[in-house]
Structure formats: C-alpha cells, structure tokens
Amino acid sequence: MADAPALCARPSNLCDDTPMPAHPNLYAALRAAFPDDLDTIAVETDDGLRYRWRDLERGSAMIANLFASLDLPRGARILVQTDKSVEALMLYLATLRAGHVHVPLNTAYQQDELAYFIEDAQPSVVVCAGRNFSAISKLAFSRGTAHVFTLNEDRSGSLLERASHMSDQHAVVEPGDDELAVILYTSGTTGRSKGAMLTHGNMLSNALTLKAYWDWQPDDVLIHALPIFHIHGLFVAIHGALLSGSKMIWLPRFDPQRVIEHLPQATVFMGVPTLYVRLLAEPGLTHEACRSMRLFISGSAPLRLDTFEAFRDRTGHTILERYGMSETVMLTSNPCKPADGERRGGTVGRPLPGVQVRVTDAKTGAPCPANEIGGIEVRGPNVFAGYWRMPEKTREEFTADGWFKTGDVGRFDAEGYLTIVGRSKDLVISGGYNVYPAEVEGYLNEMDGVAESAVIGVPHPDFGEAVVAVVVPKPGVELAEGPMIAALKDRIAGFKVPKRVFFDAELPRNAMGKVQKALLREQHQRLFAS
C-alpha cells in the first residue's frame, strides 16, 4: 500500500464524563482527539492509499490557508458538490478550521437545482467535480460567486493545485459556539429546499454524546461506505471516528462484496436499510465474516423488522437503529452497551442523553401517554439555529415553548422506546434519501399536457420506499410514462424521479378539496411486492 501525499422527554446531563473542550471550534475539538502519534494511519482507501493523521492536519491547513489568501469574509459559504474522496474530507475540515460555512450538495443534483442552491446560499466559493466545471462555473459567476475550484476523486483539480503552494501551518479560527459551521439543504413540502443552519455547538454536542453512548474506542475501525454530502456519512460517521482517534476504511461507494471483504479488519459499520438488504443478498455475509465487528448501525430511513431479524440470524449481530434529521443531528438511539438495555427491532430507541423528545396530541398540544400516537417534537443543544434566510418558516417550525416540530409521527412505549409510525409532511425516504412530493409535483406540473399530479411513496423491498406519481392529463392529451421519466431525469436527482408514472382522469379528494394521498398509497402499496 502507498502512503497518500499530504496535502419520551428524558432530559439528562450531556455525557457527564465527557467534558466540553474549552475551544468551541468543531475542528479544534476533533483535532484534540487525534492520537499522539500522528504518523499512524487515519484513513485507508479501497485502492490502497493510506492517509496519516498528520496528512489530515496538514492537508486541511493548506486548504484553509488558500481560503485565507482569497480574503473571504468571516463565515463565507463554501458550496461543495464533488465526488467522495479523502481530499473532500480535508476540504470540510479546512472550512471548519477557517471559520467558514460548509454547504454540501448531493452529487445527483441537476442544473435547475444547483441554480437555486447557488442563488440562495450566495457562496463565496464553489467547489465542483472537474467534469461539471463549465456548467457550474457559469451558474456561480452569474450569481456573484467569486471563486470556483475543481476537485476530483483521483486527487486532481484546481483546489489542490492552488492549495499545494500554501503553508501547512494554520491557526484555527475561534468562532463563537453559536456561529454557523454547516448549512444543510433539506426540501420542504411546499416550495423549494430549506437550508438548515447548524452551529459548531450543535454538532459538537451531538458528536460527544454519540462518542460516549455508542462506546467509540481508539482501536475501533469504521468501514465508511456512505456519501459525504449528508448528515449520516459526513457528520455521524466521520465525527465519531475522528473524535475517538479511530481508523476509517474508506470506500468510494457502497459495494456489498467489498464491504464483506473488509469486515474482518473492522469493528463498526453504518448504513441505510437498503445497504443491509443488499448485504443480506450476498452469501459471504456470515458469522465468520463478522467475527471482529462490534457494532452495526442503521438510520436515515425505517429499518424493516424482517431485515432486522434476518441480519441477526445471518451474522449473530443485532443492528442498532437510531433516529435523527438534518435539523437536529441524532435524537434517539437503541442502546449500544448491554447495561443500557436491549435493542428493539421496529423502534429507534430512547432519547439520547441531553436530548429531549416528546410526543404530543395534534389538537391539544399535550404530551401523549405511552403507546398513543402523536407528533414528535424535540429540544436540546443539538437542535439547529433555524432555516437560512427563512425567519418566518423557522418560527412556524417551533412551538411557543421552544420545541422543534419534526413533522414525524410516532409513539413511545412504556419503557421509553420510540417508534416512528409515519410522517405528517408526506416525506418519502427512498434508499436513505429524502424526497418531498411537492418538489417533484412542481416539475411534473410544468410539463406540457399535465393538468395536475400527486407523488407518493410506496413500499419497496430494496429502497424501503419508491417514488410513484399519479398524473392527470389535460383534456384531449395523451401522455406516456417513459418520456416523462426521461425528462425528469434531466432536471432532478435520480433518487427523486418516480419509478412509475400512472395516469388517471382525476385525483381522489376529500370534502375540503385536499388530495387523499392515503388512498393513492393504498391503491399502489403492492406495486413492488415480490
């Protein structure tokens, strides 16, 4: 192998045995947890490159110094749409240590979506894959962005070329605990995406909680097979490894066979339910393959009970399911240590230490008793600072007494385990990615010959849920499924594109004129049944 070049509302105290560092910058806290020997391996890639802890420190310092040379304003937004690479991780760390705001974007987003994000975030810097430079630079420069760099998964690009001339020494900027570190765009049920603003304090409090609750140790080895443009792969997984000084085995994308090959050298794996379904399809997933593993964690979408049980039977390991969202990082978790209780399939566990979770009656706002379904509301140091440039929307999403309304619906059992039973905002989670029907409906309704549409999620054995559209053509117009799907693929991310499009003369409505999506889901619920 070659070395890589340097470049139930249950309040409690926040991890009493884990003191908060005096320095509020998230990078400074992560850096303080690096092992004493910085020449040990921090990240090993699937193609044999090895990055030392010293490489992460020096590489992020050089990129931070590049930002300093650009004379960016404090808290400048750095918008990133690149392929997964360790250098992209260094870019994230550099943004933190330089006191700027990281704005990661899904690599599947298309030009219409990117135009909105650039216009809304108003980034000072955009970093994109080289193959997209021509299109993205036009969008960025026309909207006032001063600098556009490229970064490729093969460690090439103008960002690294410019950074290579910078010093590898950098003094970490000291932002206040309430200063922004990240803006995560999460779609709304009406209109365009919203930017959830997360502070250094939000993320550090949650990272420290998870380090203690999931019992991270320096000798842990994480198989990192998730994307790094959303909260699961970028924050939950990476922060856990960095904050415990643990090595990562870095896969560019999920490949079930490659994951199984690496299991004997690892102790921790995180994935969305779809990944566990695909692992179970591999004959190589056995008790013996998992002999060194300590923890399998699932999140970002509901884990089916049959998947939970099949995985336990095949491997001898019980998956730990947890619950979180872009606006809050992690909220609840099934226990990690046996002393904290059992892991219950079909639930997302109990509220994490320091996090308050309540289920309330939609009509009265009063807390629901055990086993009664209501809206899930949360409060704690992990809850975001609000939506970027949407103060009215921010106010709408919080109760008068300061609880964030998640939009999810669930129930606590008598022992305080939370079960998610639905989503009041009609969110569809397909393969771990959030799809909001209103956004897809907007693109469908713009198409010639479309009178109206309704987008729903239906059960899917691989993706958990699949996006399905029901379209009403205008009178006298004949529409075809294939061309509509093809047109959408050119405009929106692939995971948002309906897998099937059906046509009907009208949509079912109630007495108030609201589309009855429950009826549509019922009609199509067995569409993908095996």
Domains in the chain with CATH codes = 2-213 (3.40.50.12780), 428-524 (3.30.300.30)
pLDDT of residue 430: 92
For residue 173, pLDDT beyond 60: yes
For residue 16, pLDDT beyond 60: no
Position with higher pLDDT, 421 vs 416 = 416
Between 105-109, 219-223, 399-403, 435-439, the lowest mean confidence (pLDDT) is in 435-439
The CA-based angle 424-508-420, given to 5 degrees, is 20
Position with higher pLDDT, 425 vs 33 = 33
Structure tokens at 347: 């639930």
496 secondary structure, DSSP code: G
Q: Are 242 and 30 in contact (CB under 8 A)?
A: yes
Cβ burial 21-48 (10 Å sphere, 16+ → b, else e): bebbbbbbbbbebbeeeeeebbbbbbee
pLDDT band for 513, please (50, 70, 90 cuts). Answer: low
pLDDT of residue 184: 97
For residue 17, pLDDT beyond 50: no
pLDDT of residue 21: 43
pLDDT band for 12, please (50, 70, 90 cuts). Answer: very low
Between 145-149, 214-218, 440-444, the lowest mean confidence (pLDDT) is in 440-444
Position with higher pLDDT, 343 vs 2 = 343
Residue 165 burial class via C-beta count within 10 angstroms: exposed 0-12, middle 13-18, buried 19 and up: exposed
Section 338-364 average pLDDT = 95
For residue 190, pLDDT beyond 50: no
| Percent with pLDDT over 70 in the chain | 92
In whole numbers, what is the pLDDT of the chain averaged over residues? 92
